[in-house]
Chains A and B, each alone.
Chain A
Amino acid sequence: EVQLVESGGGLVQPGGSLRLSCAASGFTLSSYWMSWVRQAPGKGLEWVANIKQDGSEKYYVDSVKGRFTISRDNANNSLYLQMNSLRAEDTAVYYCTRTWTQLWPPDYWGQGTLVTVSS
Chain B
Amino acid sequence: DIVMTQSPDSLAVSLGERATINCKSSQSVLYSSNNKNYLAWYQQKPGQPPRLLIYWASTRESGVPDRFSGSGSGTDFTLTISSLQAEDVAVYYCQQYYSTPFTFGPGTKVDIK
* Interface set of A (CB-CB < 8 Å, partner B): 35, 44-47, 50, 59-62, 95, 103-107, 109-112
Contact = CB atoms under 8 A, between A and B. Distances in A.
A47 B61 contact: no
Interface of B is mostly: loop
B98 A103 contact: yes
Interface stretch (B11-19, B20-28, B74-82, B102-110): B102-110
A106 B93 CA distance: 13
Contacts of B93: 44-45
Nearest to B95: A105
Given A45-B50, A110-B49, A111-B49, A105 B97 contact: yes
Interface of B: 1, 38, 40, 42, 44, 48-52, 55, 61, 93, 95, 97-98, 100-107
A107 B106 contact: no
Given A45-B50, A50-B102, A59-B101, 6 more contacts: A45-B44, A103-B98, A105-B40, A106-B50, A109-B49, A112-B49
Contacts of A107: 52, 61
A99 to B, nearest CB: 8
Given A110-B49, A112-B49, A46 B40 contact: no
B101 A61 contact: yes
Nearest to A112: B49
Contacts of A45: 42, 44, 50, 93, 95, 104, 107
B97 A104 contact: yes
Contacts of A111: 48-49
A50 B51 CA distance: 18
A60 B52 CA distance: 22
B102 A47 contact: yes
B2 to A, nearest CB: 11
